A and B are shown apart, each in its own frame.
Chain A
Amino acid sequence: MKISKNVERWSPVIVLVAVLLLWQLVCVVFSIPEFIFPSPLQIAQAFAEFASPIMEAAWKTFWVTMLGFAISIVVGILLGFLIGSSRLAYTALYPLMVGFNAVPKAAVVPILVVWFGIGLGPGITTAFLISFFPITVNIATGLATLEPELEDVLRVLGAKRWDVLIKVGLPRSMPYFYGSLKIAITLAFVGTVLAEMTAGDSGIGYLMQTAGSQQRMSLAFAGLVTIGAMAMAMYELFSWVEKRTTGWAHRGSQAA
Chain B
Amino acid sequence: MNFVDFRNVWLAYNEELLAAGNYAVEDISLQVTEGEFIAIVGPSGCGKSTFMKLTTGLKMPSRGTITIGGQPVTGPLKISGMAFQAPSLLPWRTTVDNVLLPLEIVEPYRSTFKSRRKEYEAKARDLLKSVGLAGYEDKFPWQLSGGMQQRASICRALVHEPKMLLLDEPFGALDAFTREELWCALRDLHAAQKFNVILVTHDLRESVFLADTVYCMSRSPGRFVVKREIDLPRPRDLEVTYTPHFTDIVHELRGHIGAVRKAGVAVPQ
Contacts and interface: CB of A to CB of B under 8 A. Distances in A.
Interface residues of A, number: 21
Interface in B148-166: 156, 160, 166
B107 to A, nearest CB: 9
A154 B110 CA distance: 13
A184 to B, nearest CB: 22
A251 B91 contact: yes
Contacts of A154: 101, 105
B104 interface: yes
B102 interface: yes
Contact of A155 (B76, B86, B91): B76
Given A149-B86, A157-B76, A158-B78, A171 B92 contact: yes
Contacts of B82: 152-153, 156
Name the residue among B58, B90, B106 with the largest chain A CB count within 10 angstroms.
Answer: B90
Contacts of B105: 154, 157-159, 163, 167
Contacts of A159: 105
A152 B168 CA distance: 12
Contacts of B84: 149, 152-153
Contacts of B102: 157
A174 B93 CA distance: 13
Contacts of A115: none
Contacts of A163: 105
Contacts of B78: 157-158
A157 B56 CA distance: 9
A150 interface: yes
A168 interface: yes
Contacts of A30: none
Name the residue among A147, A172, A248, A249 with the largest chain B CB count within 10 angstroms.
Answer: A248
A150 B104 contact: no
Contact of A158 (B76, B88, B101): B76
B70 interface: no
Interface in A80-98: none
A157 B77 CA distance: 6
Interface string A166-177: 011001101000
Nearest to B83: A153
B106 A158 contact: yes
Nearest to B75: A158
Name the residue among A155, A163, A174 with the largest chain B CB count within 10 angstroms.
Answer: A155
Interface in B229-254: none
Contacts of B156: 153
Interface of A: 147, 149-150, 152-159, 163, 167-168, 171-172, 174, 246, 248-249, 251
19 contacts: A149-B86, A152-B82, A152-B88, A153-B88, A155-B76, A156-B77, A157-B76, A157-B78, A157-B105, A157-B106, A158-B75, A158-B78, A159-B105, A168-B90, A174-B92, A248-B92, A248-B140, A251-B91, A251-B142
Interface of B: 56, 58, 75-78, 80-82, 84, 86, 88, 90-92, 101-102, 104-106, 140, 142, 156, 160, 166
